[in-house]
Structure formats: structure tokens, C-alpha cells
Chain A
Amino acid sequence: MKLTVWTYEGPPHVGAMRVATGMHGLHLVLHAPQGDTYADLLFTMIERRGSRPPVTYTTFQARDLGADTANLFRSACRDAWERFRPAAMIVGASCTAELIQDDPGGLAESLGLPVPVVALELPSYSRKENFGTDETFLRLVRALARPVARTQAVTANLIGPVALGFRHRDDVAEVTRLLSGMGVGVNAVAPMGATPADLARLGAAHFNVLMYPEHAEAAARWMERELGQPYTRVVPVGVGATRDFLQEVGRIAGLPVRADESCLRLPWWSRSVDSTYLTGKRVFVFGDGTHAIAAARIARDEMGFDVVGLGCYNREMARAVRAVAAAHGLEALVTDDYLEVEAAIAAAAPELILGTQMERHIGKRLGIPCAVISAPVHVQDFPARYAPQMGWEGANVIFDSWVHPLVMGLEEHLLTMFREDFEFHDGAGPSHLGAGSHGPGGPPGPLAAAVGPASPAPARAAPAPVSSAVAAWLPAAEDELRKIPFFVRAKARRNTERFAAERGLAAIGVDTLYEAKAHYAR
């Protein structure tokens, strides 16, 4: 048993839903108890879809358990076929149905439906949502894709985009444009927007662009092996990664690299003098492995930030994330326990978090600005405007969305200089974010006191007792501390306290503060 409050990933059958909902002409029949239909609202509310996910649930109840749940599944499956007439079906079980072992695959097969029916194995008690997307797509590809003649012109499949993905809609458009610039056409995009017939002719492409390893790596490997299609390893998020991606496409396709960077603004925006203030900003990166790796590279090489933490919640990507973290001189944080993530962020005291919606909430509590870089998603992650993460425009979007939460340029200096100003103080928050934004000067969350490097994560839920070893702050030192910019104040406080504790000081004065500053100066 594992105690969980918030989760980064849903169960694997939600992954299957994301594949089915992304596609057209495919229907998922899910053996699941009443109540599991809540998952529909992820698509209709968060993604604002204007149609129901193509999913039929058996919604069995207690009285059915004593009777015949297998028959219930059979009739749900037959009714779904009758009503929706899909070109292919997938069948599976949610966590509860997995326990009653009705074998949806076998039951569906016994119906003799006139379309391909693909059975899914979704082990709910050991795997999670991303496994569900990857596995479902693999099963579909294995069942439907056949060796076919390659297209005459050089084409690629874009694989990995699914429903409820972080900016997948716009990434597809951006990558299509990049490939078109190289003279590479798109054979199929899958799962998003694909029909079962499109999956059947995946083999016509010369290679695969693996956009999201989380959702399509298993299928990419299978197609490489069975259909002889190489696939791209570089995910084109960021300027450097996009250039590397185009090089890789050139190598695979045997084409010269051609790219139109005329609309790419990130490099100049980042070099222009207003951005000087970004130099060395301490950022903490956490998300799914793919986006976290990409963000770390952009943060260091394209924004001039200092990456002080890097991690991912999906263990499938642990190895890759650990390698990148090591290159940044960090130890990767691989966990799906948000309390651990919160403690690690508090300990690192970054000036900016690049994370998921979960980290956005952590940032709110800690008073640290946050830009979202990855799923899990929220309704805000489906903007009406074009907002890709990949390619040149993706880089532009990333520059804006990472810089936006920060206090900008000269404003930062003015805040520091005129700290006592009654309306221009750091507690008011960045002026461009409006009255609703709270600067971190507001009421400190329980974390401000409770989280130090030594306090274990589970202690966070309780108002943890403040360590008795902490030296007392003299009023003058408290005043001086308040003059330090808010985003480093917590760190300054902690460093000073550690400094005092190491020296056995009972009280912290102004001098102690500056002694500690000199001691810890980088």
C-alpha cells in the first residue's frame, strides 16, 4: 500500500483512453465499475472536447458481481459496435475489472465482430497512465500495421501525440512544418487524428519521428524491427534540440539540412540586454522525462539559467534523466510522490520552477514562480492560441512562458532599491501579473518553517516542530533580512541559520548574516 494524495499519472486504462480519444474510427470498450466514467470529464472539460470520448464502460454494480459480469461485457461490446460502427475496437479492463478476471479480449473475440478487436493488458496495480498510452499504441500498431511499399517521396510518421497531451496539437503542426522545410512529407500522424486505416499504412513512411517517447517508444521500436523504419531519438524542444533533430532527420533521410530560422526569436531575445537579469537564475526542473530533459538543456544553454534540480515522475525515463542530471552536476529526483518533490524544491530554493501543474501549486505555496513544461495537464494548458513547445515557434513560446512569471529586468532592481515603498514592495508581486498575483511576501506556507534539508518529506503534512537548534534572530538582523530580495530570502535565512548552528551561536545579528553570506558566496 502506498499513501497517495495527488498523483502525476492516472491508471493505465486512462492511457488507453487517451489513445482512443485521439484517434478517429476507433472505439474502446472498458470493463469497469460504475463511477469510472469520471475519466470522460478529463477530455470534455480539461481539453474542452466537443464530443464524448469513444469509450463504452460496462459500469457494473454489486448486484452484477453475483450474476454475470461477463455477459454484461459482451452485451456492452455488441451494443457499442451496433451504435458507433467503429473501424476497429480495443477492449480492456480497469483496476476493479482486472480483479474479476473476465477476460475482455476473449469475450470480445467470441462475438465475432466484423472489425479488428485488439485486447489490452493494463496491469493497474503495477503500472500507470503513460504505460497505458505506450502499450495501447503498441498493441494497435502490432495488430494493424502491415508491411507496405514506401511512398515515392520521402515521408515520415509523426508518432506519439495523444489526447490530453501537453501542447500535442500544436507540436504536430510545428514538426510538420520543420519536416516540410527539409522536403519530408508526413505519411501519418498517430495516434492523434489517425484512423485504423492510417495505422495499417504506417509502413509506407521512410522513418518515424518519435515525438513523445512516453507514448510511442514501444511502437517505434516495433516498427523499426518489423517494418524496417528507423526512428528519431532527438525530441525537438528548444533551439539546440531542434537543430539536432534536423541533423538527425537529414542523416536518416539522406537529405541536406534545410531550415528557415527567420521566425526564431529566442536566441536574440535571450541575448538582448534586458535578458541579462536572467543570468544564473536558479531553476528547478520537474516533469515527464522527455520534457524535463529538454527543459534542462534550454534552461542552461539557451536562457543562461542555473539548473539546481532536475527530475521526472515517470520511472520509465529514470535512466535518461539521471544521465542528464549528472551532466548538470546534479542527482536526479525520480519520484511520483509530490511531497518529495515539494521538499526537494523547498530545499533547493530556486527562483523559478519549470514543472507541471503539481509544481505550479507547490510554487504557489512556497511563493516561487512556476512555468508549466509538461503533463499532467490542466485546463490552462489548452490555450486557444497556437502555443507549441517544439520547433522554432515552440522555442519562442517557451522563452515567453518561462520569463513571464519572473520579475522583469529593471523592476527587480527597483524592488531591491525601494524595498520600503508602501506599494512597490516585493509582497505586491510582479507588477505585470496584476493584483491577483501574490508575491511571496504574503503569509508563509507551513513549508517556510518546516522544510529544511534535514526534515524528511512525510513531516510536511503536519505543522512540524521547528528545530530547537535554530538560533534566535535579533530584530536588526530580521530587518536586514527583509531587505534581501524575496526569492533568495528563504535561502539566506536557512544558510544563516545553518552557519549559526555550525558555530553554536545562540543569536543571529546583522554581522552573522553577512558572515554567512560571505561564507556561502558562490
Chain B
Amino acid sequence: MTDPRPLAAGRGCRDTPVLKQRGQREVFCGLTGIIWLHRKMQDAFFLVVGSRTCAHLLQSAAGVMIFAEPRFATAVLEEKDLAGLADANAELDREVGRLLARRPDIRRLFLVGSCPSEVIKLDLQRAAERLNRQHAPHVAVLNWSGSGIETTFTEGEDACLAAMVPGLPSASGRSLIVAGALPDVVEDQMQRLLAGLGVGPVGLLPARRADGAPPVGPGTVVALAQPFLGETLAALERRGARALLAPFPFGEEGTTAWLAAIAGAFGVSAERFDAVTAAPRARARRAVAAAAGPLAGRTVFFFPDSQLEVPLARFLTRECGMRAVEVGTPYLHRGILGPDLELLAPGPVISEGQDVDLQLDRARAARPDLTVCGLGLANPMEAEGLATKWAIELVFTPVHFYDQAGDLAGLFARPLRRGGLLGGLAGGVMGGAPAGAAP
């Protein structure tokens, strides 16, 4: 396992002071995770108990409507539900009954709390227990909160996975659980790598179907595939599992380090590790080299979005030759992100939380070559002449492990390549600013 890249001096950004400002936070709430979770868990239904705003968010968040029979819906609270909680519970039971009668294929029902349901203190945990008694064993009813007052964007997935942990079967022997929803194709690649290393049994959280729920116990080792799963990890630790902390599997280096941590825990020999990873590592390096050309020597600025920012900054700076100006994240879990922070060379501002106006001022002053931000900010930044990458694509697209390393670099390179291709459009026959962007 020779690595040509020098390690960052000392402890990288692990001890860098974190900039914390409080103001408007331009981020999604945790309900947004339903967009991908409902596709991942094919026998699950997500029932948000909330307002018209929740329903509107779910249909707008992905930028498109996923019209193919969604396995999610919103039970929209109306005035009479606010007047009496007893009635609201009766209404909820009735709607769930109708829903399950209509969808006999549903095995897992998640009652998802929202801002309004939290504020009126509608106890969805008790509701879930009540409904569970009614609908067991065919349907397991669980609850979690995706409210904006409790969760930021990907923390919704964390809340969902954590809610499933108490119900996981018990395991006695040694096993690995990989936590974090991954696209199926990526998950299959990972399974092949782990099988090649002889690591097993491997459980996945979330499982695609209810009967695939991974057992957990004192012999279980947990590797996180996503960095935003702090609550899930704590819940698994309460079941006796042991956390494996490693850089996240983005890029060739991250994937190798992540697999190496698992290999270490399962006593895989160095020879076997090299034999299994050598070819995909070489492939990943070639792919990144082919895609990352436009990124070399450029600066990048991350607005907070998904908690993927630190590992992605590590990938862009160490494998793609970029320089990070600011790495903003909605929440910085120092324990989970420690290994990535250590690999990140000192220099960038590390910020947690947000005052979006002040952060925009910093970005405008820094004029980074690439700004990674949410959909609400991207076009306004572009109109100011700053190239952007939509952050949400990074949680919707297969980006993990060796065979997506090139694609990941490509996602960041595309806006810069496009800027180059369209350079001739700037100005206009009379010169001056680019036309067309509505004020």
C-alpha cells in the first residue's frame, strides 16, 4: 500500500478552530431524505405528519417530481387537528388504516414528524406504538422526526436509521454493518470488494427490504458509508457494536483507507488487500486523472449542505489538486470526521452552521473558482460570475468507492468545463454584462 501523496503535516485540520455564526441557515430540513430513502427501501412507506409546506417541499426539493407512484405522502394537518390532539390521533389512525389497506405490499411504515407536529407536541412515538400493535406482524410502524427544528437535510436519514436500530435482530458472532443508504449499484460494488477481502457477514443499514435487517451485537463492527450518521452510530454502539472510524470512501484514497480500516478489524492480510484493491485503485486513479484536469490549481468554497463537505474537500484537495478556501458544514461531528480532517491540509476556514448573508459576503470576497452550494444559491452566484456545483447532486448520485471516483471528480469539473465552453457568450455584441439572468 504505497501512497504517493504526502500526508498533511501533523493533524491537518483536526484542531483548526471552527467558525460558528448564527443567522439565516439556507439548508433543507430532514424530510428531504425521504426523496432517496423511499427509493432505497422498497417495502417502506413514509408518512409525514405535517403541513402543506412539508408536502410542497417534498415535491419541490428534488427539482423534479418523481411521479412514479411515490412511497411517501403527507398527512396535512388542518385547523381541526390543531384544536384537539385526541382528534388528530384518531385521524392519523384512520389515514394509516386506509393507507395500509391500499398498499398491502408495505412492510415498514415510518411516521415522520415535522415542525408543526413537534410544535403541537403530537406524540408520534406513542402513535407508532399504538399503530404497531394494530398492524403487527405484517407491518412494523416506526417513527422519526425530519423536522427542520430538529434536523438539517441528511440528519433526516440519520434519524430514520437510528429509529430502526432498536428493532434489529441480535447477533452473536463477528459481523460488519455498513450504515448509510447507497445507490444499489454502488452497494453491489462494495459487497464485491468486501467479499474479495473475505469480510463477512456484511449487513446493510438500511436494508432494501424488511427481512434483510442486519443483526447487531457485541461482535459487530460498524463502518459508516456516510458521515452524517452520528445518532445511528450511537444507537448501534448501545447495542454493543464497535465503531470503525476512517476517512470516507470518496476517491481512490478515501476508499482505500476505508477498506483498510475494515481489513484491519477483520485481520485481512496485506497481500490479500493489495490483490483485491490493486486493480480498482489503479482504475480509480486513471479515472480521476482523466476527469480532474479542469480542477487542478483551482479554489473551492463549500456552503453547508449535507455534512459530506469535509470528506469531499479532502478528495478535491488531495486527489484533484484543488485548494479549499472555506469548508462549511451544517454540523461538524469531530469524532466521525476526525480521520478526514487529519488528511485535510491546514488553510481553509472550517465553518459550522451558517449566517448565509455573511457567508455570501466571504464567498464574494474570495471569488473561488468553484462554489459548492444549494439550489437556492446556485443561479444567483452564477449570475455574479461564480461557477457553482449544486450540492444536492452529491447525495443523489453514485459517488462512493473506486469506480465512481472519476465520476465524482467529473461532477465538480463539469461546471468549469462548461464555463470554458461558453466563454464566447459573455459580453455581447456591444460588450458589457451577460444578458438574460432575470434580476
Pick out which of these stretches binds chain B: A232-240, A270-278, A457-465: A457-465
Chain B residues with a Cβ under 8 A of chain A: 23-32, 49, 51-53, 55-57, 59-61, 63, 65, 67, 69-70, 72-79, 81-82, 88, 91-92, 95, 98-99, 102-104, 115-116, 118-120, 147-150, 152, 357, 374-380, 382-383, 436-439
Q: Which of A3-19 contact B (CB under 8 A)?
A: 3-7, 9-11, 13-14
Given A1-B95, A37-B376, A95-B51, A7:B119 Cβ within 8 A: no
Contact of A357 among B65, B74, B95 (CB under 8 A): B65
Which of B73, B115, B376 interacts with A95 by CB under 8 Å? Answer: B115
A contact residues around B76 at 8 Å (CB): 1-4
Take A1-B76, A76-B24, A124-B51 as given contacts and tell me if A10 and B56 are in contact as well, using a CB distance cutoff of 8 Å: yes
- Given A7-B59, A99-B82, residue A37 in contact with residue B25 (CB < 8 A): yes
Q: Are A44 and B116 CB-contacts (below 8 A) given A11-B52, A11-B53?
A: no
Q: Interface residue tally of chain A, by bracket?
A: 35 or more
* Contacting pair B149 A65 (CB below 8 A): yes
Q: Find the residue from B32, B56, B120 having the highest chain A CB count within 10 A.
A: B56
In the complex, whether A467 has a CB less than 8 A from a CB of chain B is no
Judge whether B73 and A3 touch: CB under 8 Å. Answer: yes
**Given the complex, which residues of B lie within 8 Å of A50, measured CB to CB?**
379-380, 382-383, 437-439
> Is B148 a contact of A56 with CB atoms below 8 Å?
no
Residues of chain A within 8 A of B25, CB atoms compared: 34, 37, 59
A448 touches B (CB below 8 Å): no
Smallest distance from the beta carbon of B105 to chain A beta carbons, Å?
8
Q: CB within 8 A of B51: which of A24, A65, A96? A: A96
Contact with B380, one of A7, A13, A44 (Cβ below 8 angstroms) = A44
Give complex CA distance A124, B365 in Å: 39
CB distance from B357 to the nearest CB of A (A): 6
22 contacts between A and B (CB under 8 A): A1-B88, A4-B52, A34-B29, A36-B29, A40-B377, A41-B61, A44-B377, A49-B380, A52-B377, A62-B147, A95-B51, A96-B116, A96-B119, A96-B149, A124-B51, A125-B78, A125-B79, A365-B67, A458-B98, A458-B102, A461-B103, A462-B103
Contacting residues, chain B, for A100 (C-beta < 8 A)? 119
Partner pick for B149 among A40, A49, A62, A76, CB 8 A cutoff: A62
Q: Which one of A34, A36, A60 has the highest number of Cβ atoms from chain B below 10 Å of its Cβ?
A: A34
Task: Write out the residue numbers on chain B whose beta carbons fall within 8 Å of the beta carbon of A36.
Answer: 29, 53, 148
Besides A7-B52, A37-B376, A95-B52, 12 other CB < 8 A contacts? A1-B81, A4-B55, A6-B67, A9-B52, A35-B31, A38-B28, A39-B56, A44-B376, A56-B24, A57-B24, A99-B119, A361-B65
Tell me the bound Cα distance from A2 to B53 in angstroms: 13
Which chain A positions have C-beta within 8 A of B52?
4, 7, 9-11, 95, 124, 128
Query: Is A83 interfacial (CB 8 A cutoff)?
Result: yes
Judge whether A364 is part of the interface by a CB distance below 8 angstroms: yes
CA distance A122 to B49 in the complex (A): 20
Cβ distance A75 to chain B, nearest Cβ, rounded Å = 9
CB-defined contacts of B115 to chain A, threshold 8 Å: 33, 35, 95-96
- In the complex, whether A47 has a CB less than 8 A from a CB of chain B is yes
Q: Is the CB of A52 within 8 A of B29?
A: no
B56 touches which one: A14, A57, A126 (CB < 8 A)?
A14
Q: How far is the CB of B425 from chain A (nearest CB, A)?
A: 13
Number of cross-chain contacts by CB at 8 Å: 205
A51 CB within 8 Å of chain B: yes
Cα-based distance from A262 to B250 in the complex (angstroms): 62
Hey, which chain B residues are within 8 Å of A79, CB to CB? 23, 357
Q: Say whether, besides A2-B78, A3-B74, A124-B53, A40 and B27 are in contact (CB < 8 Å).
A: no
Tell me which of A6, A44, A60, A384 contacts B65 (CB under 8 A).
A6
For residue A7, which residue of chain B has the nearest CB?
B55
Identify A125's interface contact among B30, B56, B77, CB under 8 A.
B77
Contacts of B29 in A (CB 8 A): 33-36, 38
A34 partner residues in chain B, CB cutoff 8 A: 25, 27, 29, 148-149, 152
A48 within 8 A of B: yes
CB distance from B90 to the nearest CB of A (A): 9
Contact B376 A125 (CB under 8 A): no
A496 contacts the other chain (CB 8 A): no
For B56, the chain A residues whose CB sits under 8 A away are 7, 10-11, 14, 39
Instruction: Flag if B116 contacts A95 (CB, 8 Å).
Output: yes
Contact at A41–B376, with CB atoms within 8 Å? yes
Q: Does A61 contact B (CB under 8 A)?
A: yes
Residues from chain B with a CB closer than 8 A to the CB of A379 are 63
Of the residues B51, B67, B70, B149, contact of A61 by C-beta under 8 Å: B149
In the complex, A126 Cα to B80 Cα: how many Å? Answer: 10
Does A94 touch B at the CB level, under 8 Å? yes
Most buried by A among B32, B51, B148: B148
Interface presence of A45 (CB below 8 A): yes
Q: Tell me the complex Cα distance, A128–B56, Å.
A: 11
CA distance A3 to B103 in the complex (A): 14
Shortest Cβ distance from residue A175 to the other chain B in the assembled complex, whole angstroms? 19
- A264: Cβ under 8 A from any B Cβ: no
Q: Which residues of A contact B439 (CB under 8 A)?
A: 24, 49-51
Q: Smallest CB-CB separation from B68: which chain A residue?
A: A365
| Contact of A505 with B by CB under 8 A | no
Q: For residue B120, which residue of chain A has the nearest CB?
A: A99
Q: Once bound together, how far apart are the Cα atoms of A366 and B343, in whole Å?
A: 53
A458 CA / B55 CA spacing, docked (Å): 18
Complex interface: chain A residues within 8 A of B30 (CB) = 35
> Residue of A at shortest CB range from B330?
A34
With both beta carbons as reference points, the residue of chain B lying nearest to A338 in the complex is identified as: B67
Min C-beta distance of B319 to chain A, whole Å: 30
Q: With A44-B379, A62-B149, A125-B77 given, is the CB distance from A462 to B60 under 8 Å?
A: no
Is the pair B61, A125 in contact by a Cβ cutoff of 8 Å?
no
CB distance from A7 to the nearest CB of B (A): 5
Docked CA distance A42–B295 (Å): 30
Q: Are A94's CB and B53's CB within 8 A?
A: yes
Q: Give the residues in chain B near A11, CB-CB below 8 Å.
A: 51-53, 56
Contacts of A57 in B (CB 8 A): 24
